[in-house]
Amino acid sequence: MLNLDEGRLAVKLARQALTSYIETKAYIEPSPELPPVFSEKRGVFVTLHQEGDLRGCIGYPQPVLPLGRAIIDSAINASSRDPRFPCVRPSELKRIEVEVTILTKPELYDVPKKSLPQAVRIGSDGLIVSQGMRSGLLLPQVAPEWGFDSMEFLSQTCLKAGLAPDAWLDDDTQVFHFEAQIFAEVAPEREIFEKSYADSTCGT
């Protein structure tokens, strides 16, 4: 777990990487003065919002890179390589809010498939659905932000993977869960806080 000061540094690092790349195409390096957690391998996603709308979201589901490097790469990729959006322009930077989501290592649900809706904890769990070469991920904040119950959350993750909405019931489908810490700017380049959806009551 990161403390709030470390979370603020994570968002500031993402903002610095984003600004440097968009303005000059330069890749920054993590500062050696960052706290030790930034050298630990962690999964992470960087999400960009503009005036309340999604503007890009890309990251690493698995802990394959040191956190500092993963944040930098994810910020750059969210701004320029999310296929759903055009590249962020320099004129947009002051209207974009930066959010960093730091993931625990994904784990398989250890319950029968039909019991998955009861196992999914809305507001706490993020989901990964995998079947063959297809895979889809939704972060924990997606369900409460969109008002999904656990059944809809499972279905939407399947759709994200390009599968049928009830593919989570298939024997050859794997459903993973993970938890996350979410740190975000309250407004572009403003105060940074930790989001929490753990008390969400979307139900099952």
How many alpha carbons lie under 13 Å from residue 50 in its C-beta half-sphere?
Answer: 15
Q: Give the class (CATH, top level) of 4-104+179-195.
A: alpha beta
Do 179 and 121 form a contact (C-beta atoms < 8 A)?
A: no
Report the distance separating Cα 133 and Cα 63, nearest Å.
20
Report the distance separating Cα 16 and Cα 24, nearest Å.
12
Global pTM?
0.90
Q: Where are the domains of the chain?
A: 4-104+179-195, 107-178
Q: What fold does the segment set 107-178 form as a domain?
A: Dna Ligase; domain 1 (3.30.1490)
pLDDT tens digits along 85-131 = 999 999 999 999 999 999 999 999 999 999 999 999 999 999 999 99
DSSP code at position 163 = S
Report the distance separating Cα 79 and Cα 77, nearest Å.
5
Q: Tokens 């004129």 sit at which residue?
A: 91
| 201 — pLDDT class (breaks 50, 70, 90) | very low
Report the distance separating Cα 77 and Cα 27, nearest Å.
11
**What percent of the chain has a predicted confidence (pLDDT) above 70?**
97
Say which residues have a Cβ less than 8 Å from residue 49's Cβ, sequence separation at least 6: 55, 96, 97, 99
Token pair belonging to 174: 């794997």
pLDDT tens digits along 140-176 = 999 999 999 999 999 999 999 999 999 999 999 999 9
pLDDT at 198: 63
